[in-house]
């Protein structure tokens, strides 16, 4: 037999609330500590950040290569060769 954490009255496992004081006896979900929660959010944040950064890096690289090719073409046209 289990005991209520507040009034220490005994109860069976199938009770959700204490009959004496009304305290909830069964938790509704898994207990996640703040440290575990922060670790999960840090992982998600890093993953999203790196995906966005990687996309922008590829975009900048492509524009830089296109700019370099355009500059070579411009110098070729203006040099009169």
Tell me, yes or no, whether 40 and 13 share the same domain.
no
Tell me, yes or no, whether 49 and 81 share the same domain.
yes
Tell me, yes or no, whether 12 and 45 share the same domain.
no
Closest by alpha carbon to 14, among 30, 29, 25?
25
Tell me, yes or no, whether 42 and 21 share the same domain.
no
Instruction: Please give the chain's pLDDT, 81 residues, in tens.
Output: 677 878 888 877 777 778 788 877 766 556 667 777 778 778 887 788 888 888 899 999 999 999 999 999 999 999 866
Integer Cα distance of 52 and 45 in angstroms: 11
Tell me, yes or no, whether 38 and 70 share the same domain.
yes
Tell me, yes or no, whether 48 and 25 share the same domain.
no
Tell me, yes or no, whether 16 and 41 share the same domain.
no
Domain span at residue 14 reads 1-29
Q: What is the DSSP letter of 28?
A: S
Count up the domains in the chain and report the number: 2
| pTM for this predicted structure | 0.42
């Amino acid at each position: 037999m289990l005991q209520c954490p507040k009034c220490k009255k005994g109860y069976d496992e199938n009770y959700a609330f204490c009959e004496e004081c009304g305290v909830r006896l069964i938790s509704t979900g898994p207990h996640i500590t703040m440290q575990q929660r922060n670790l999960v959010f840090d992982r998600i944040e890093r993953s999203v950040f790196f995906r966005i950064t990687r996309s922008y890096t590829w975009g900048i690289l492509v524009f830089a290569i296109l700019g370099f090719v355009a500059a070579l073409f411009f110098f070729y046209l203006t040099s009169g060769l």
